[in-house]
A and B are shown apart, each in its own frame.
Chain A
């Protein structure tokens, strides 16, 4: 550990016999301070999970909800989504995997029966069969569609502060940094995962959110069968913004049906219907009846 010059200690006193003892006690003080709950050192962000010596400082820190993606977990201070602050996911195009990114964490939380997973004004209907197959317990899902922006923010603040929600996902139309700060404060008391879905434009503005991640869809490539998502953390606790990195979903959504083009598109000229209704009044059948 490096020695820190202390402003209160006169350099002249170093020569005195008690000087060595004072220095030792200073180091001990520093050590004690570092052991305190809530103290963390920026340099421990990555090493903390590996080395046992710093586990003490980590236990004092807020444990995050594991994201289910180990690459992402490594980048985050609590080794998961922060539960004492707002997370902002910034993206421009729906369908790149912005909710799929949260699905493993949501599935975990819903299985623990920790409270509601509240969806506030989602752009489309959260589709129950897909949520169920992602492992999310539907009895803990609650969807609300506030009519106004004010109601939307009010509902989110109430939900974050009440500690009866384990996750709050919101798609506000527009939100400024003062409002995000209020939500941030509310989430500190409620200890729930609060996620704001915002447009990429917001990346330029400052925000008091705990964690901000830019999401961009990764292009389809015929070489891989799983879909993936490119992301860049632009703000996080205990670390600098990161470079772009990619996480891969285990969903086989990029898998192409082998003979697809031959079946549906190359032979579109299927003219005669398979099923013919038999009309008993037609002359052909009339003839049959008469014969009997």
Chain B
């Protein structure tokens, strides 16, 4: 299968500008940074940086929606008609980077190809940054494929570094991303280690832990605490340099020309590079390179620009082959919903509106919305309602992309478990449970029957019978409260016809009896069965004269008053509410005393 057409991009176009912004962040806020630099230069290095490197990101943005049985398919990503990325199975087949697509197809007919989509890569990366926000608030995006997390503040919360790494790695794997995790004391150092794949050289900030331990037990570490901060700093810098010794210069995040000239000088790894005098390097490669090296080793502070939590959720899944039945959407839907639930939990938010989009490159998009009665964060409820809605979609043609957008976010209710299970709190739980049940029923009804077919009732401030009530939308609950309900007013029928039905026009007076046709509801103009005395309408109570709404635009054309009567069908004993217009004496049925 060849997929050369551009895959639909669900993100907004300004994302590209954001890429630029992220890349040039250091230039943008120079003044701001210089202040930080001054304040941080004296402090010892106390931060621990975790770098998440996603080597397969360009491929994974397409493949993560695959069913498990498709995961072994060779995939290549093309840039300018050459293979720029390939997955493991493609690598095993012998497809190399730089090969043409024809070469790849010669090696295997199973190869699936996608055009590289950098915009989508960035949006996925920023989504993952939002996901990583659950671990630490200090998350930086390093385009195109890295995230930097300052984890020094959250190690205790997650029971140490190893547990945290395990948690992050398994979280990424379950979302369908392969990752390389490295730690170091400076952001640049951990980034370089991750890119080079030297994970075992990760440096854990021993000082960070030891200094805290010393603070707790001052008696045991008397000699160490007296050590000045500058000395400690020197030793950590040496530690960073040591951890980077084996790093090839080609993995440094610098200009390619500098790398080339370094290699021509015979300097291949960082050990040799660090041995060179700084002043010479400064003269030769310019001040930016030396600045980079200083930041790499922690000699200069390197403040990062952290992301701010996103107030909306947007994620999508692309399918390898077109899906044409909704049953096979279950797996990707499950994945998206659990990601949404994670997103909401991390921010203590809840939502009441999920909008799904099923799209295909050659069809129009199919949208469906799920509206909930109250904002919640419940995976099961989202799942069951989505399934309910999905069952209703009949004419699914082909789908190659499924996306979920959530814009309406509300702060979640504080959920605290009861300390004392049992006696007095059970009642409160019962109430909550009742509320939950009600919400669930309402959600189900509105999802399956459509939000319009479900409404409440309210009386309205108008004397005209058809305007004396109004439907109430359940999310608004705009009930009109009358000062007093007119229990002693003239009786009203329990059921009202939406439109008054015409009764036979010709009638003969027989006292107070009007003959009607076979059935009241049927319009039998011109053929009233006068002969049948069983279908005779007897007027009982009335008239009650009801005036038109002279203030209302729509009523102005029909300046007519109505005389209402309660009538009974002699044979059936039904009580009906009928009226007659004052001008043309036409009779209508308007209500039924059910």
Contacts and interface: CB of A to CB of B under 8 A. Distances in A.
A95 B593 contact: yes
Contacts of B438: 115-116, 162, 164
Contacts of B576: 95
Contact of B573 (A132, A138, A146, A220): A220
Interface stretch (A57-65, A234-242, A253-261): A253-261
B546 to A, nearest CB: 13
B493 A127 contact: yes
A216 B441 contact: no
A261 B511 contact: yes
A261 B571 CA distance: 21
B455 interface: yes
Contacts of B492: 127, 129-130, 133
Interface string B548-582: 00000000000000010010111111111000000
B441 A158 contact: yes
A219 B573 contact: yes
Interface in B452-468: 453-460, 468
Nearest to B571: A219
Nearest to A146: B449
Interface in A118-134: 122-134
Contacts of B482: 132
A254 B542 CA distance: 11
Nearest to A257: B541
Contact of B498 (A103, A115, A125): A125
Contact of A144 (B434, B454, B512): B454
B538 interface: yes
A132 B453 contact: no
A66 interface: no
A292 to B, nearest CB: 33
Contacts of A98: 594
Task: Give the interface SS of chain B, mostly helix, strand, loop or mixed.
Answer: mixed
Given A127-B469, A260-B543, A132 B459 contact: yes
Contacts of A97: 575, 593-594
Given A126-B457, A128-B468, A141-B456, A95 B592 contact: yes
B509 interface: yes
A60 B549 CA distance: 57
A142 B456 contact: yes
A265 B511 CA distance: 9
B495 A123 contact: yes
B444 interface: yes
Interface stretch (B283-291, B293-301, B415-423, B483-491): B483-491
B539 interface: yes
Contacts of A220: 538, 540, 568, 570, 573
B225 interface: no
A158 B446 CA distance: 12
B437 A265 contact: no
B441 A162 contact: yes
A100 to B, nearest CB: 6
A57 to B, nearest CB: 28
A263 interface: yes
A95 B449 contact: no
A141 B440 CA distance: 17
B269 to A, nearest CB: 68
B5 interface: no
Contacts of A255: 540-541
B313 interface: no
A236 B346 CA distance: 56
A263 B580 CA distance: 14
B575 A133 contact: no
A145 interface: yes
B479 interface: yes
Contacts of B65: none
A268 B135 CA distance: 85
Interface string A14-29: 0000000000000000
Contact of B494 (A99, A135, A147, A217): A99
Nearest to A155: B445
Contact of B512 (A103, A126, A260): A260
Contacts of B441: 116, 158-159, 162, 164-165
Interface string A79-106: 0000000000000111111111001000
B485 A127 contact: no
Given A96-B574, A125-B498, A265-B509, A260 B542 contact: yes
A256 B489 CA distance: 16
A264 interface: yes
A159 B492 CA distance: 29
A147 B498 contact: no
Nearest to A128: B469
Contact of A218 (B434, B539, B573): B573
B448 interface: yes
A139 interface: yes
Nearest to B453: A145
B496 interface: yes
B134 to A, nearest CB: 34
A162 B434 CA distance: 9
Contacts of A75: none
B107 interface: no
Nearest to A125: B496
A266 B204 CA distance: 105
B393 to A, nearest CB: 15
Interface string B477-517: 10100100111010111111110000000000101100000
A279 B184 CA distance: 97
Contacts of B440: 162, 164
Among the interface residues B440, B445, B511, which one has the most CB atoms of the partner chain A within 10 A? B445
A131 B457 contact: yes
A227 interface: yes
A138 B449 contact: no
Nearest to B486: A133
A94 B202 CA distance: 82
29 contacts: A93-B572, A94-B594, A95-B592, A97-B593, A97-B594, A99-B494, A122-B495, A125-B496, A132-B482, A133-B489, A138-B457, A143-B471, A144-B445, A154-B448, A158-B441, A159-B445, A162-B441, A217-B572, A219-B571, A220-B568, A220-B570, A227-B575, A255-B541, A257-B542, A257-B543, A261-B511, A263-B543, A264-B543, A265-B512
By Cβ-Cβ distance, the 3 closest A-B pairs, closest first, are A217-B573, A95-B574, A128-B469
Given A115-B438, A129-B468, A220-B538, 5 more contacts: A127-B469, A128-B457, A129-B469, A143-B455, A219-B571
